[in-house]
Amino acid sequence: MHISKDGLKLIKKWEGCHLTAYRDCVGVWTIGWGITNADYRITGKHIRSGMHISQATADKWLEDSIRAIYEPKVNKYMDKYGWTQNEYDALVSFCYNVGNIDGLTADGSRSKKTIAKKILEYCKAGGRRVKGLYDRRVDEYNMFCGIAGNAEDYDMPKIKSGSKGKAVKVWQLILGIDQTGTFDDETVEATKAFQKKKKLTVDGIVGKFTWSAGLGTL
């Protein structure tokens, strides 16, 4: 199996592309789409201060490293788990960031349900929780569980505090609160409680992942 366009998009979303080398949050020299010296056998280059590459090189290094290093680390568990495409995409993204999925799967001894829950625990750098890492883990959890990308089928808009209209009424119906059509403080708090229960980003904003969970597409 190979990563899909959605999986590649997820990696790009969280890695970001930097054409000049920089140190990440734990001091590792990084360039392109999150490429480090761990990818030396792909790049043949030592990432160092002042290094600069083209966009074409960054894109090639990303795709080459995924194919040669990270997909095989997920594929080695294919016979055990029979990954679906969304599970596979989430795990390749996770692997690209963490380095492998051996610990996540406990060397293939965990169930898929446990693996999904454990994804959210990998959110620390230098011993402390990092919001960006947690938010990435939430995206990977959502993709693993098949949540990502479903809300578009219903063409539901993003709604938040102050929003008004039919979409707000639909959301309030899902939450089981009064359908006033106004995204008031009660709706914000009920939304946050719903997001916490579904292990989504708790921000009180109803975007595609929250819509998907609410519309029963888990």
Q: Which residues are catalytic?
A: 15
Let me know the angle formed at the C-alpha of 41 by 121 and 92, rounded to the nearest 5 degrees: 30
**For the chain, the helix, strand and coil percentages under 3-state DSSP, each to the nearest 5:** 55, 10, 35
Mind spelling out the 3-state secondary structure of 83-148?
CCHHHHHHHHHHHHHHCCCHHHHCCCCCCHHHHHHHHCCCCEECCEECHHHHHHHHHHHHHHCCCC
CB-CB neighbours of 89 under 10 Å? 27
CA distances from 188 to 51, 119, 177, 192 (A): 46, 27, 11, 6
Q: Which residues contact 88 (CB under 8 A, 6 or more apart)?
A: 1, 3, 7, 74
